[in-house]
Structure 1
Amino acid sequence: MNANKTPSSKIKNSKDIFDVKELDKKHYCDSKTLALIFGLSTRWIQQLTKDGILEMVDTEHGKKYDLFPTILHFAKYQSEKLKKKGGSKREEDLKMLKLEAEIALKESQGELHRYKSDIQYGKYIDVADIQRDYERFFDIFKKFALSLPSKVSNKLNGFLEPLQIRHIEKELKDEVAKQLTGFVIAATVDQEE
């Protein structure tokens, strides 16, 4: 069987296609022939040559491509190109994972915001209960804060003159009253109690 007509399924190694002596010979071709062999345009072959992937050699007929080394260089170039594409596939996968994680983060942030809003509007705890508890706390705190000046004046008895104690107590009461009126939300006193 002729080497050119050997079906690829019967090829066991390169000796089945080429005679070893044939590989040692120099076979030169131009860019048009090389383009036909690789299935590329002559412009693409010239670009690969310019990029240093393919090399031309000086022959007696001008610059030509040495066929076998050129085929090896081109095969190596294609192999490296495929490996890089495999790496870029991994990068794309990682970018996709990152996007999915960002989406999950945004969804969880949205869910957290919904929970906060639900709590604020009384979906989980009745707002009226919270308001009553706050009013009760504020009433107790107000009574405690207003009682502090008299407690301090009782502790000062015997150390200062009664007039000085009354003056300090009045200043403290005024300051506490001023601070308590500074609150935006004031407790309402239950009229029933």
Structure 2
Amino acid sequence: MEVKTEYRTSAQVARVFRMTSKNVQRLTADGVLETVETPRGRRYDWDKTVEMYVAYLSDKANGREKKETTAELEEAKLRAEVDIKEAKAKAAQMELKELQGKMHRAEDVEAIMTDHVLFLRSMLMAMPGKLAVDLSGNHTAPEQADRVKREVYFVLNALADYRYDPEVYKARVRERQGWNERHGDDEADD
């Protein structure tokens, strides 16, 4: 007695399995289900499809389902390698810009600005003592006010005279990288 093979479309399989046709197609693409070529196009061998789907559900229930196909794992690996190479290239570009003085690390800017602010703070803190000596004589109030004003302007001019110096940042990078100790201070030889 010959058993007649029954073929079903993805819509028919989806209806019986209570899912969408897209889910049936996804299961087929993932290798869970298989189609065969028939005179009416690609179809599912009903007995084999039910058997494969039951095995898939059993494996899934027992935690043995195939997590990812080999192709998906290989693709993920290649994507990760590309990401790593792109990150390394970006880091190298940033380091080059830093060495060229076109970009500065926040920590370097903070350190240099902190040094500048501390310099100004020391000038302001020295002002009372300096003025006390200068104004200890018999000066009139307008003379004293003028002297205080000149000292304040001196400090403000020192602040206004600050100029960006790329060499200061380059020296900071060399110091942070430890290049002065490892390679000798090239600038000292010039």
Instruction: Name the TM-score, length of structure 1 as normaliser.
Output: 0.32
Tell me which of the two structures has the higher relative contact order, counting C-alpha pairs closer than 8 angstroms and 6 or more residues apart: 2
